[in-house]
């Protein structure tokens, strides 16, 4: 049986998590901190390598939007063991690797792709949708066609390892939408489909965000989660802040989760408290379902204060600013 608890493997282009010193990885730090500008925060452990890519842009005075695209492309490209983003993503029930992504800038412009196949960098296609079309979202074959027209490479994304894991799953497949528990793990945790959501504030104080994923492992063909949906998987308001989500997208969509977090911050909630309230509403709406799944929110406000909250323990997020390059924070949770 495949063991998803092994460390993330990073190619030579990224830094090895195993090489991080104990002091660099924070286990218990207040997650409502004013870190100043510029800053980038990302969901899960591989947020560290994504943040490094974003920081190359932010540290030289670059725009937050450019930092988001540069950072998100790294986990989309890397050979990482989680099989949840980009070219190494696990396929759907029928063996198709379908990718979802969205991006949003400080002016409220946004772009998105969903159920896109054969293109390794959906974050870049989402940006092209935002900048080159009058639309917000392109899906399926149309998204792939557009990407190729814009000069992106069409390639097979199903890797031999992912194909092997899919065929193993097929032997005992018992698919139930949302409640697709793999290897005893809760759907939505970092061993199943850890979406990477990113939020950045540049030196000018402008906020942008992005979200990218291959979605729930072995999902029904055509399933789309919250990640490419503006207001669900991502939302940015440059007057207030930004939020992103990870986990079982169906529950995030039902609560328009990221938009809710931003609106709560507009009302005066701290980022952490806003995330906590969004999680509480998910639990209140479907308490029995919530016990069996994971959903987490990550947010940053206009001051650069950040925070996170999840249903289950185990959620982590990465922070990168001028003071700390490799900070990994353990998120708080209800359970």
Predicted confidence (pLDDT) per residue in 41-51, tens digit? 999 888 899 99
pLDDT at 46: 84
Q: Is residue 22 part of a domain?
A: no
Structural domain includes residue 11: no
Q: Is residue 8 part of a domain?
A: no
Q: What is the pLDDT of residue 15?
A: 37
**CB contact at 8 A, 47 and 317:** yes
223 part of a folded domain: yes
**Residue numbering of the annotated binding site:** 223-226, 246-249
Model pLDDT, residue 20: 36
pTM score over 0.95: no
Name the band, by pLDDT with cuts 50, 70 and 90, for residue 166: confident
CATH number, position 37: 3.60.20.30
Q: Which residue has the higher pLDDT, 172 or 277?
A: 277
* Percent share of the chain, pLDDT over 70: 80
Please say if the pLDDT value at position 158 is more than 60: yes
Q: Which residues are annotated as a binding site for substrate?
A: 223-226, 246-249
Active site residue 195: yes
Residue 201 has pLDDT above 70, yes or no: yes
Average pLDDT value for the chain: 84
| Residue 244, strand partner residues | 234, 298
Structural domain count of the chain: 1
**pLDDT given for residue 85 in this prediction:** 63
Instruction: Answer yes or no: is 241 within a domain.
Output: yes
DSSP 253-317: HHTTHHHHHHHHHHTT--HHHHHHHHHHHHHHHSHHHHTT--EEEEEEETTSEEEEEESSTT-EE
Residue 26 is assigned to a structural domain of this protein: no
Closest-CA residue to 179 (of 25, 263, 292, 280): 292
More confident position, 83 or 139: 139
pLDDT (0 to 100) of residue 89? 78
Catalytic residue (choose from 195, 212, 213, 244):
195
The 3-state DSSP class for residue 210 equals strand
Q: Is residue 86 a part of any domain in this protein?
A: yes
**Average of pLDDT values for 182-188?**
47
Task: Note whether residue 90 is domain-resident.
Answer: yes
With a pLDDT cut of 90, the percent of the chain lying above it is 64
Domain that holds residue 238: 33-333
């Amino acid at each position: 049986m495949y063991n998803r608890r092994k460390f993330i493997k990073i190619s030579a282009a990224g830094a090895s998590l195993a090489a991080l010193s104990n002091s660099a990885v924070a286990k218990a730090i207040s997650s409502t901190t004013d870190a100043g500008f510029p800053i980038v925060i990302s969901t899960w452990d591989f947020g560290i390598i994504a943040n490094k890519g974003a920081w190359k842009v932010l540290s030289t005075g670059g725009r937050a939007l450019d930092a988001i695209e540069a950072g998100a492309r790294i986990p989309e490209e890397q050979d990482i063991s989680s099989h949840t983003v980009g070219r190494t993503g696990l396929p759907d029930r029928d063996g198709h690797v379908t990718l979802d992504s969205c991006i949003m800038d400080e002016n409220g412009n946004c772009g998105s792709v969903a159920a896109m196949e054969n293109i390794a960098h959906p974050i870049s296609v989402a940006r092209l949708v935002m900048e080159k079309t009058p639309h917000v979202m392109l899906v399926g074959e149309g998204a792939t066609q557009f990407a190729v027209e814009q000069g992106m490479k069409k390639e097979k994304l199903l890797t031999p390892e992912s194909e092997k894991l899919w065929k193993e799953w097929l032997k005992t497949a018992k698919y139930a939408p949302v409640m697709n528990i793999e290897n005893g793990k809760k759907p939505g945790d970092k061993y199943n489909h850890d979406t990477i959501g990113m939020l950045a504030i540049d030196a000018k104080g402008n906020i942008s965000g992005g979200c990218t994923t291959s979605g729930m492992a072995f999902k029904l063909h055509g399933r789309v989660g919250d990640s490419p949906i503006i207001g669900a998987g991502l939302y940015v308001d440059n007057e207030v802040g930004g939020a992103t989500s990870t986990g079982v997208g169906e529950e995030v969509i039902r609560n328009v989760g990221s938009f809710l977090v931003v609106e709560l911050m507009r009302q005066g909630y701290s980022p952490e408290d806003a995330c906590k309230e969004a999680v509480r509403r998910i639990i209140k709406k479907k308490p029995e379902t919530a016990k069996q799944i994971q959903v987490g929110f990550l947010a940053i406000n206009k001051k650069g204060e950040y925070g996170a909250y999840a249903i289950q323990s185990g959620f982590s997020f990465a922070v990168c600013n001028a003071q700390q390059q490799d900070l990994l924070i353990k998120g708080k949770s209800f359970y």
